[in-house]
């Protein structure tokens, strides 16, 4: 079954953007969201302290506001945590799960992420699951095995009924952060093909609706080349688009490249 997936362009701004900065960013997104083609989605993931602003901004349906993490439990003695139910009540569109910083610094496991994705879909939340190999895993030649393990455990128990909620962000750990270097287009295409193969094994034929984004030192210089890769369904960009004007610029470059490729087909 062949399905045309939307092109997704998003950013996780991590522990930046105060509520005032978020308000300015949302104003830009509201404007841009009305201008983009119908098969494009925008994703903005600010800190928890800014999520209440979702109620102030009637964003277009093409624009999603997300949370950077959530707890697997409904409620209880989890100081400093937020539940899927709380996010849902705020009108949040999706949640980011499994970012490498959470895995590395807060010891999040694939099994824990499996419980989180089940909690997310139980409350009707879309989620972006981040996966990616470390430098040493790449050097030992087990990058594919790493991605397979992360996908199969985190998505265990989800059925085709949940596929519309699943979004995958391939972010090789060695490619993100201030010292990261973006993977080559050839490497990105190869790994996206592998991820699609694993998804096909988990959900034969039906998996075609699941988008796979690339993230990892995406910037103004390389976004166009990455966006035109047929197996890449979107870009997940970091510090390069933390400023509203840069978001617009990198988005426009990415879309111009993407749709130029579509015209060539």
Q: Which residues are catalytic?
A: 99, 171
Task: State the residue for tokens 């959530």.
Answer: 70
Q: Dump the DSSP string for 69-89.
A: ---SSSSSS-TT---HHHHHH
Number of H helices, E strands in the chain: 9, 8
Answer yes or no: are the C-beta atoms of 110 and 117 closer than 8 Å: no
Calpha distance 156→246 (Å, rounded): 38
Distances (CA, A) of 147 to 143, 196, 262: 6, 11, 29
Answer yes or no: are the C-beta atoms of 226 and 258 closer than 8 Å: no
b or e along 163-174 (b: 16 or more beta carbons within 10 Å of the residue's beta carbon)? bebbbbbbbbbb
């Amino acid at each position: 079954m062949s399905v045309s997936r939307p092109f997704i362009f998003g950013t996780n701004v991590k522990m930046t953007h105060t509520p005032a900065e978020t308000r300015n960013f949302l104003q830009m997104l509201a404007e841009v969201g009305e201008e983009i083609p119908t098969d494009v989605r925008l994703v903005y993931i600010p800190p928890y302290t800014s999520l209440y602003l979702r109620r102030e901004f009637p964003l277009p349906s093409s624009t999603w506001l997300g949370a950077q993490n959530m707890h697997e439990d409904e409620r209880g003695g989890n100081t400093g945590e937020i539940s899927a139910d709380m996010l849902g009540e705020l009108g949040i569109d999706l949640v980011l799960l499994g970012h490498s910083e959470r895995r590395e610094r807060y010891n999040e496991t694939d099994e824990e992420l499996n419980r989180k994705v089940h909690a997310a879909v139980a409350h009707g939340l879309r989620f972006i699951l981040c996966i990616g190999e470390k430098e040493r895993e790449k050097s030992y030649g087990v990058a594919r095995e790493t991605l397979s393990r992360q996908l199969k455990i985190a998505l265990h128990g989800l059925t085709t009924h949940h596929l519309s909620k699943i979004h995958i962000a391939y972010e090789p750990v060695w490619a993100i952060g201030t010292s990261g270097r973006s993977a080559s287009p050839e490497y990105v295409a190869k790994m996206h093909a592998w991820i699609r193969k694993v998804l096909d094994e988990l959900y034969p034929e039906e998996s075609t609706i699941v988008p796979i984004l690339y993230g990892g030192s995406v910037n103004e210089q390389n976004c166009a080349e990455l966006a035109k890769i047929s197996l890449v369904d979107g870009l997940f960009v970091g510090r390069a688009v933390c400023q509203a004007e840069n978001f617009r610029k990198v988005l426009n470059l990415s879309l111009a490249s993407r749709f130029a490729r579509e015209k060539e087909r």
